[in-house]
Amino acid sequence: MVKLFAAVLVTAVVMIVILQFVDPKIDNPGGNATTQLVSSSNTASGTLSVSISGEIKRSGTYVLEENTTLEDLIGVAGGLTTNADEYAFDTTYLLEDKLSFYIAPKYDNSDVCSMEPIVKVNINTDDSEGLQTVKGIGSTVAKAIISYREANGEYRRIEDLKKVSGIGNATFEKIKDYIRLRS
């Protein structure tokens, strides 16, 4: 009897896992987003391929219709986790093809007992000294962040930091949890 129960339980867990990956489409009545998870980079005319990761329920690459926003993408991806830092992204951002978005956490995921939010800097308002409080941002990079902001306007996505001289993928990966767009 115990073996039969264990076999049924294992089968049920396997089926749940398979269903989550085999049928990633979700119902979005009235929304203007095409709700399809994609694995290829080819998209049809009038659609966008956009990736999202971080504090989102279903990370992945999605095909959406043109003229959709980050809010639409978040909805298609199942919504935010309770640990999403609402100051680290802009839901009104109009999506563009091949963009990726990282939803940063409020609390450190490596410390499950942490009750204190991650101390973050605002890349749109902090001065050089404030920016340098983040490990990985020295005086040269802080000045470059401010220069880019002054030349191009406010950052609309934290990923835009990769456009700053001195910030590549490796640096971005180190600092992405410690920055936000607004306070």
pLDDT at 29 over 70: no
3-state DSSP assignment of residue 7: helix
Single out the residue of 46, 125, 37, 129 nearest to residue 76, CA to CA.
37
Distance CA 54, CA 136 (A): 20
pLDDT one-digit tens code per residue, 90-138: 999 999 999 999 999 999 988 777 788 999 999 999 999 999 999 999 9
This prediction has a pTM of: 0.74
Domains annotated on the chain, with CATH: 2-103 (no CATH), 121-180 (1.10.150.280)
The sign of the dihedral angle between the CA atoms of 21, 31, 48, 175 is negative
pLDDT one-digit tens code per residue, 157-171: 999 999 999 999 999
Distance CA 128, CA 143 (A): 6
